[in-house]
């Protein structure tokens, strides 16, 4: 009866009754528990309790900022799809590290899909949802977020193991990479479905989150704690990796390897650092974009209902977080020459190459340009590298000459 009264109050005007007039400590039977998952009145009751129905968002249709967010979501999907296709079609990227980057890209692409679905189903449409649909809407965002965070951890683990053992993945060891990818999605899926399995606040309104009114505050706090712990572990792992790389570089400079071997080791070290810096930039951007939302959810875990007006502005914090999935493909393109070359060939092959396979001179600057000092150094070292075979010294060809020999025919 109380839920019906709440819905009737919303139909005529936004409810103004006090929080004390709403149920806070009910103990529904198992049958009632499953009935509530299909009961639309539950949504209205919870949103009314947290004070979210007092805003105009649930009266009107999509606002201009929501339309802008939809455009951003579309760009996220397109950008990450291009990166995935580039990784899939280029054999040069069929390596464990790039598979893990591809997994991160896939999570960003799916994040764009779930963000778009979330926006379309928000506003007035929220009040038409059943709790089970609401859990699916929000669970998709949590799963893709968890997949992104855990994918970053998987990349950090792979880099750390590789540097400690000084052996890259080969053959059967690729199983470890597949286990990291599978494990990341399994953990993300488990974290996302916990609310629908019972870790929610249905029937216990005093424990409800304001940002996500059907989620329990304890669940929100758990997720924030898990994500923060994972990010801290990633920072620690990368700090160890940087220390190992610096130590190895100093040893190479002091002695041991000489001549072509030393130059080859230096080139590999520079390339490794370039890839490592790319991943580190991705991690830094992730923290910058998601930290405001994490802090807001932390506040939500301790602030009583209707006390913190800032919590009603959560959509803007989510918008900032969405930018992360938009920036990652741009970071890959600007910091990795190989990735940039593959994407440019994929997007505009006719602009860069002629029909007979030669590279147009206007395309050379785009294929050879570098936005990273590490790439420039690596390129210089690569040009100096020599290969000693059967007593003959053979100068190594540049990447462009190897990929497009017709351009250099005399």
Tens digit of each residue's pLDDT, the chain (410 residues):
444 444 444 344 334 344 444 444 444 466 766 788 888 889 999 999 988 888 777 777 778 888 999 999 999 999 999 999 988 888 888 877 788 889 999 999 999 999 999 999 988 899 899 999 999 999 999 999 899 889 989 888 888 887 777 655 455 467 778 888 999 999 999 999 999 988 999 888 999 999 999 999 999 999 999 999 998 998 888 888 878 877 776 776 665 555 555 555 566 566 666 667 777 888 889 899 999 999 999 999 999 888 898 998 888 898 899 899 899 888 877 777 778 778 877 877 666 665 555 555 555 555 555 544 444 444 443 333 333 232 333 333 444 344 334 434 43
What is the per-residue pLDDT for 350? 63
What is the per-residue pLDDT for 66? 87
Rounded CA-CA distance 207/217 in Å is 6
What is the per-residue pLDDT for 358? 56
Query: Residue 198: left if φ>0, alpha if ψ -120 to 50, beta else—which one?
Result: left
| Residues with Cβ within 8 Å of residue 227, at least 6 apart in sequence | 145, 146, 149, 290, 294
The DSSP bridge partners found for residue 394 are 387
What is the per-residue pLDDT for 402? 41
Nearest one of 130, 218, 217, 145 to 188, comparing CA atoms: 145
What is the per-residue pLDDT for 359? 56
Does this model's pTM top 0.85? My answer is no
For strands 386-389 and 392-395, give the pairing.
antiparallel
Rounded CA-CA distance 351/363 in Å is 7
How many other CB atoms are found less than 10 A from the CB of residue 359?
A: 18
Rounded CA-CA distance 382/274 in Å is 14
| Dihedral pair phi/psi, residue 373, rounded to 5° | -60, -35
What is the per-residue pLDDT for 185? 94
Rounded CA-CA distance 338/278 in Å is 12
How many other CB atoms are found less than 10 A from the CB of residue 373?
A: 11
DSSP state of 211: S
Query: Please, what are the domains in the chain?
Result: 36-352 (1.20.1070.10)
Contact 245, 367 (CB under 8 A): no
Rounded CA-CA distance 246/229 in Å is 26
């Amino acid at each position: 009866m109380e839920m019906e009264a709440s819905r009737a109050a919303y139909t005529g005007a936004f409810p103004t009754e006090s929080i004390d007039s709403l149920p806070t400590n009910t103990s529904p039977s198992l049958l009632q528990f499953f009935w509530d998952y299909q009961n639309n009145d539950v949504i209205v009751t919870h949103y009314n309790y947290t004070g979210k129905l007092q805003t105009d968002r649930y009266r009107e249709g999509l606002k201009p900022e929501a339309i802008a967010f939809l455009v951003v979501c579309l760009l996220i999907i397109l950008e990450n799809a291009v990166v995935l296709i580039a990784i899939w079609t280029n054999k040069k990227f069929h390596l464990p590290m790039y598979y893990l980057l591809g997994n991160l890209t896939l999570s960003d692409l799916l994040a764009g899909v779930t963000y778009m679905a979330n926006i379309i189903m928000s506003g007035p449409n929220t009040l038409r949802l059943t709790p089970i649909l609401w859990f699916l809407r929000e669970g998709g965002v949590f799963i893709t977020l968890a997949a992104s965070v855990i994918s970053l951890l998987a990349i950090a683990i792979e880099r750390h193991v590789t540097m400690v053992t000084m052996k890259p993945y080969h053959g059967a060891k690729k199983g470890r990479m597949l286990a990291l990818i599978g494990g990341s999605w399994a953990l993300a899926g488990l974290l996302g479905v916990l609310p629908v399995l019972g870790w929610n606040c249905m029937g216990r309104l005093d424990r409800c989150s304001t940002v996500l009114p059907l989620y329990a505050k304890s669940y929100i706090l758990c997720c924030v704690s898990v994500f923060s712990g994972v990010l801290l572990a990633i920072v620690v792992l990368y700090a160890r990796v940087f220390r190992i790389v610096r130590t190895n570089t100093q040893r190479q400079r002091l002695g041991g390897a000489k001549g072509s071997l030393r130059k080859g080791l230096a080139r590999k070290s520079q390339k490794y650092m370039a890839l490592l810096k790319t991943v580190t930039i991705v991690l830094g951007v992730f923290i910058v974009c998601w930290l405001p939302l994490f802090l807001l959810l932390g506040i939500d875990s301790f602030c009583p209902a209707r006390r913190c007006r800032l919590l009603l502005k959560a959509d803007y914090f989510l918008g900032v977080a969405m930018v992360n999935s938009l920036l990652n493909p741009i970071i890959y393109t600007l910091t990795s020459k190989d990735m940039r070359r593959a994407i440019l060939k994929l997007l505009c092959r006719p602009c860069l190459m002629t029909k007979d396979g030669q590279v147009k001179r206007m395309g050379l600057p785009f294929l050879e340009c570098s936005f990273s000092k590490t790439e420039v150094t690596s390129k210089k070292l690569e040009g100096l590298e020599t290969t000693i075979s059967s007593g003959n010294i053979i100068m190594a060809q540049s990447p462009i000459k190897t990929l497009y020999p017709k351009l250099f025919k005399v």
